[in-house]
């Protein structure tokens, strides 16, 4: 076998074809190598895009989870306000609680989680109700008058029910996303 190789190389050398064959084979190797490099670059780009999409999905999922926690907290605070109404009627701490929960709801309304127009309206309605009730409490405190506890708790209960509906929809959305990520 080595004899044939030696004879083949000698023949190529005698006709000055050895350099040409080396050039041609080097060119072919370069073309194949360049093609393989392009395939590798495309695979790397696709992997980077997939990683970026996964990171964005994770950020969205975390935002949704934070929003769910904030809604749960807001509902719990509203329940505390109802208890405070029953226990103390008009209390000097109530305006602070109202202001705090209003701010939290406003932040929820402006969250980066996509909320439907109906869900945003629920939050806005609760904010408006809390603002009105806060003004009534401020006047009751300054005039030393009684607070219509039953009426206020009824309004807060309706707002809680609607906020629970929004919370349930967000939890369902989270479960759907988690199910989609696992498949």
The pLDDT tens digits for 72-126 are: 999 999 999 898 888 776 667 788 888 889 999 998 888 878 888 899 999 999 9
**153/7: higher pLDDT:** 153
Helices 94-109 and 18-88 cross at an angle (nearest 10°) of 150
pLDDT band at 29; cut points 50, 70, 90: confident
% pLDDT > 90, the chain: 21
CA atoms within 13 A on the CB side of 11: 6
pTM recorded for the entire structure: 0.68
| Distant-in-sequence, close-in-space partners of 86: CB < 8 Å, separation ≥ 6 | 149, 153
Whether the predicted pLDDT of 182 surpasses 70: no
CB 145 within 8 A of CB 179: no
DSSP letter (8 states) at residue 145: -
Cβ–Cβ under 8 Å, residues 137 and 98 = yes
Is residue 90 packed enough to be buried (19+ CB in 10 Å), middle (13-18) or exposed (0-12)?
Answer: buried
Residue 127's pLDDT band (boundaries 50, 70, 90)?
very high
Q: Nearest 5°: phi and psi at 114?
A: -70, 115
Q: What are the φ and ψ backbone dihedral angles of 85, each rounded to 5 degrees?
A: -60, -50
Give the mean pLDDT of the chain: 82
Q: What is the dihedral of CA 124, 76, 163, 122, to 10 degrees?
A: -10
Taking only the tens place, the pLDDT of each residue in 151-173 is: 989 999 999 999 999 989 888 87
Cβ-contact 108, 71 below 8 angstroms: yes
């Amino acid at each position: 076998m080595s004899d044939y190789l030696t004879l083949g190389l000698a023949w190529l050398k005698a006709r000055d074809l050895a350099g040409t064959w080396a050039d041609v084979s080097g060119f072919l190797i370069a073309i194949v190598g360049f093609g393989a490099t392009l395939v590798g670059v495309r695979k790397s780009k696709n992997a980077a895009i997939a990683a970026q999409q996964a990171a964005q999905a994770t950020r969205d999922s975390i935002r949704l989870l934070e929003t769910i926690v904030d809604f749960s907290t807001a509902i719990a605070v509203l329940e505390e306000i109802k208890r405070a109404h029953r226990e103390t009627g008009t209390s000097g701490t109530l305006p602070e609680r109202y202001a705090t929960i209003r701010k939290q709801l406003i932040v929820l309304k402006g969250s980066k989680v996509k909320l439907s127009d109906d869900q945003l309206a629920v939050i806005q309605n609760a904010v408006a109700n809390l603002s009105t009730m806060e003004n009534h409490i401020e006047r009751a405190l300054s005039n030393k008058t009684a607070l219509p506890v039953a009426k206020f708790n009824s309004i807060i209960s309706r707002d809680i029910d609607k906020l629970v509906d929004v919370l349930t929809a967000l939890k369902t959305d989270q479960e759907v996303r988690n199910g989609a990520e696992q498949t």
